[in-house]
């Protein structure tokens, strides 16, 4: 059996001959207390069965005087923070070694034992309060489930409006949901869902109004094509496009569907020769671990490792979007903008928009995309050029791109404030609860005088 959450669970079976040997050494009986002593320490449960079972070395048995110690009081006491501190005092191990309680050291643990009558009153009060906690937990769970449904349905309604909803209707409902979101959100998962919904709305033309006077994206695409030709960039040399997704039928006026190969160039990182990495070079050298650290508003501007500027031809240029291309790191979905030329290791790849002005929108589109869906590896997850170049993306007019990016930045700031507010509310709630419990459980004057 396994001790978990105050109960015995997951019964396991051994041969009867092995049980007989173990049971002769230690014979747990109904009313005994079992104590975790190796690994997860100090979790005490009361044996409530007459069925014979065996104990392994990770569990200790405590047999005590039932006439003077209430079993449930003793169990509550052993699971209390007070005794937990005592167990931490006598435990051995830690670090790379498994924590352990030696049975011989348990005799040194100080245990406050009140009169038997008071033990009964304590158990009754604890049971009463635990029942109240269960009811509060059930009510909170029901409330959270209702909020979750409201949040999910609202955001799904934003992402998939009714077919008869016009652009003005969609934007009006979007404004309504965003204005009222702080009232219905209670968990970080809601904010994460909101962030993704904002990105999805942005790249589908549902976040800001279209201006018929904007230069159409087709003209922008033509200028990008000329840049590819003039710079001899590689993007356009890749595989033929598949059919565009269904979203292409519902694009706002002036938008076009393009593939990554038409607007950006990809570059993979390199493996260094032995001794090439140092702290004295001029070019920052990035590894996957460096993507964990955001610098300068989400952009990477430096590194703890550097290499010679002779590697400049292998660099990811300023304005590139760097992301993992191999291994489990793909699942982190991290994408970082580099604000200076850097060299990446062979586990990284970068996307560099051909036109710098489109960079913020292309990054926004890429942020809406889950890298893991691109995994084309077998034994080792990996992403290659052939997985990204054919990807379709929506391209708005350049002026609208600027409006979209500004709106997303505004809403992202709102999400940041909501997350901070949730964290503050959670912290304040814990402090309030601790203060209320402290006041409620503080000994009365009579109790203090009796103790003295």
Tens-place pLDDT, residues 79-99: 888 888 888 888 888 666 788
Say yes or no: 372 and 248 in one domain.
yes
The least confident of 1-15, 238-252, 324-338 is: 1-15
Report the pLDDT value the prediction gives residue 6, as an integer from 0 to 100.
Answer: 47
Alpha-helix runs per DSSP H in 232-323: 260-263
Task: Give 64 or 185, the one with higher predicted confidence.
Answer: 64
Q: Tell whether the model's pLDDT for residue 3 goes beyond 60.
A: no
Q: Is residue 172 a part of any domain in this protein?
A: no
pTM of the model as a whole: 0.65
Same domain, 241 and 105: no
pLDDT of residue 221: 94
Confirm whether 142 is domain-assigned.
no
Displacement of CA 143 from its chain's centroid (Å)? 23
C-beta separation of 300 from 342 below 8 A: yes
Question: Which stretch of 35-44, 149-158, 214-223 has the lowest confidence by average pLDDT?
Answer: 149-158
pLDDT digits (tens, 9 = 90+) for 383-439: 999 999 999 999 999 999 999 999 999 888 888 888 888 777 666 666 766 676 666
Task: State the Cα–Cα distance between residues 155 and 159, nearest whole angstrom.
Answer: 6
pLDDT reported for residue 320: 94
- DSSP letters, 65-126, are -TTTS-HHHHHHHHTSHHHHHHHHHH-EEETTEEEE--GGGGGG-------HHHHHHHHHHH
pLDDT for residue 260 is more than 90: yes
Which position has the token pair 């609208």?
400
Contacts of residue 314, Cβ cutoff 8 Å, sequence gap at least 6: 269, 270, 343
Q: Phi, psi at residue 393, to the nearest 5°?
A: -140, 155
**Are residue 221 and residue 109 in the same domain, yes or no?**
no
Q: Contact at 8 Å (CB) between 260 and 391? A: yes
Residue owning tokens 């009986």: 29
Q: With a cut of 50, say whether residue 321 has pLDDT above it.
A: yes
Report the pLDDT value the prediction gives residue 444, as an integer from 0 to 100. 60
Stretch (H or E) spanning 129: helix 116-159
Here the tokens at position 71 are: 């079993």
Residue 127 lies in a domain: no
Length of the chain: 452
Judge contact between 330 and 371, C-beta under 8 A: yes
Last residue of a domain, one of 58, 78, 113: 113
In a shared domain, residues 238 and 104: no
Classify residue 28 as left (phi > 0), alpha (psi -120 to 50) or beta. Answer: beta
Residue 451 is predicted with a pLDDT of 52
The answer on 238 and 94 residing in a single domain is no
Tokens of 286: 């990035």
Tell me: the pLDDT tens digits for 10-63? 667 888 888 888 888 888 999 999 988 887 777 889 998 888 888 888 888 899
Look at the chain and report how many structural domains it folds into: 2
Which distant-in-sequence residues (6+ apart) come within 8 Å of 225 by Cβ? 236, 262
Range of the domain at 45: 2-113
Q: Residue 260, exposed/middle/buried by CB under 10 A (0-12, 13-18, 19+)?
A: buried
CATH of the domain at 382: 3.90.220.20
Residue at 402 is within a domain: no
Higher pLDDT, 202 or 232: 202
Beta bridge partners of 349: 268, 323
pLDDT over threshold 60, residue 121: yes
Residue 306 predicted with pLDDT over 90: no
Q: What is the pLDDT of residue 1?
A: 46
Measure the CA dihedral 406/408/413/414, to 10°: 120
47-61, 128-142, 163-177, 314-328: which has the minimum mean pLDDT?
Answer: 163-177
| Last-in-domain residue among 396, 418, 436 | 396
Read off the pLDDT of each residue in 122-150 and give the average, rounded to a whole number.
86
Structure tokens at 410: 């505004």
Q: Which is more confidently placed, 250 or 220?
A: 220
| 401 or 236: which leads in pLDDT | 401
182 within a domain of the structure (yes/no):
no
- 243 lies in the same domain as 387: yes
357 domain-assigned: yes
In the listed set 88, 113, 138, which residue is the last one of a domain according to the structure?
A: 113
How far apart, in whole angstroms, are the C-alpha atoms of residue 269 and residue 94? 40
95 and 228, same domain (yes or no): no
Averaged pLDDT for residues 343-366: 93
Domain assignment present for 155 = no
143-148-154 Cα angle (round to 5) = 125
pLDDT of residue 322: 94
In the chain, the percentage of residues whose pLDDT exceeds 90 is 30
What average pLDDT does the segment 116-141 reach?
90
Residue 270 sits at φ, ψ, to 5 deg, of: -130, 155
Q: What is the mean pLDDT of residues 219-229?
A: 90
- What confidence score (pLDDT) does residue 233 get? 56
Please tell me the distance from the alpha carbon of residue 286 to that of residue 307, in angstroms, as a whole number: 10
Whether residue 348 contacts residue 389, with contact meaning beta carbons closer than 8 Å, is answered with no
pLDDT, the chain, mean:
82
Residues 248 and 100 in one domain: no
Specify if 7 maps to a domain: yes
Across the range 355-383, mean pLDDT stands at 90
Averaged pLDDT, 307-332: 90
């Amino acid at each position: 059996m396994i001790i978990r959450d105050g109960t015995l669970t997951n019964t396991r079976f051994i041969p009867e001959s092995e049980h007989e040997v173990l049971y002769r050494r230690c014979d747990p009986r109904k009313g005994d207390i079992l104590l975790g002593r190796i690994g997860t320490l100090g979790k005490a449960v009361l044996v409530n069965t007459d069925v014979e079972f065996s104990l392994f070395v990770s569990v200790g048995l405590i047999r005590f005087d039932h006439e003077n110690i209430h079993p449930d009081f003793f169990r509550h006491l052993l699971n209390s923070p007070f005794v937990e501190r005592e167990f931490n005092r006598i435990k051995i191990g830690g670090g790379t070694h498994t924590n352990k309680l030696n049975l011989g050291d348990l005799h040194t643990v100080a245990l406050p034992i009140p009169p038997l009558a008071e033990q009964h009153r304590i158990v009754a009060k604890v049971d009463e309060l635990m029942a109240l906690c269960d009811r509060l937990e059930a009510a909170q769970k029901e409330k959270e489930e209702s909020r979750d449904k409201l949040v999910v349905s609202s955001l799904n309604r934003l992402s998939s409006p009714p077919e008869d909803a016009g652009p003005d209707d969609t934007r009006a409902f979007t404004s309504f949901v965003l204005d009222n979101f702080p009232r219905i959100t209670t968990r970080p998962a809601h904010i994460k869902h909101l962030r993704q919904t904002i990105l999805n709305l942005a790249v589908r033309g549902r976040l800001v109004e279209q201006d018929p006077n904007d230069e159409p994206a087709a003209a922008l695409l033509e200028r990008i094509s000329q840049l590819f030709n003039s710079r001899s960039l590689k993007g356009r040399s890749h595989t033929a496009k598949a059919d565009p997704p269904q979203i292409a039928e519902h694009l706002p006026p002036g938008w076009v569907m393009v593939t990554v190969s038409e607007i950006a160039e990809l570059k993979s990182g390199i493996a260094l020769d032995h001794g090439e990495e140092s702290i004295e070079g001029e070019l920052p050298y990035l590894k996957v671990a460096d993507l964990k650290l955001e610098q300068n508003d989400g952009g990477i501007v430096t590194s703890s490792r550097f290499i010679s500027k002779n590697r400049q031809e292998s660099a990811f240029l300023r304005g590139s979007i760097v992301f993992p291309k191999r291994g489990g790191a793909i699942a982190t979905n991290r994408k970082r903008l580099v604000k200076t030329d850097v060299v990446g290791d062979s586990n990284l790849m970068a996307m560099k928009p051909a036109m710098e002005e489109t960079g913020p929108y292309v990054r926004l589109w890429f942020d809406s995309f889950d890298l893991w869906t691109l995994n084309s590896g077998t034994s080792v997850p990996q992403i290659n050029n052939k997985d990204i170049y054919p990807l379709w993306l929506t391209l708005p007019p350049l002026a609208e791109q600027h409006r979209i990016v500004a709106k997303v930045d505004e809403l992202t700031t709102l999400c940041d404030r909501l997350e901070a507010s949730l964290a503050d509310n959670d912290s304040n709630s814990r402090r309030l609860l601790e203060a209320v419990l402290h006041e409620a459980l503080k000994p009365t004057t009579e109790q203090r005088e009796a103790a003295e």
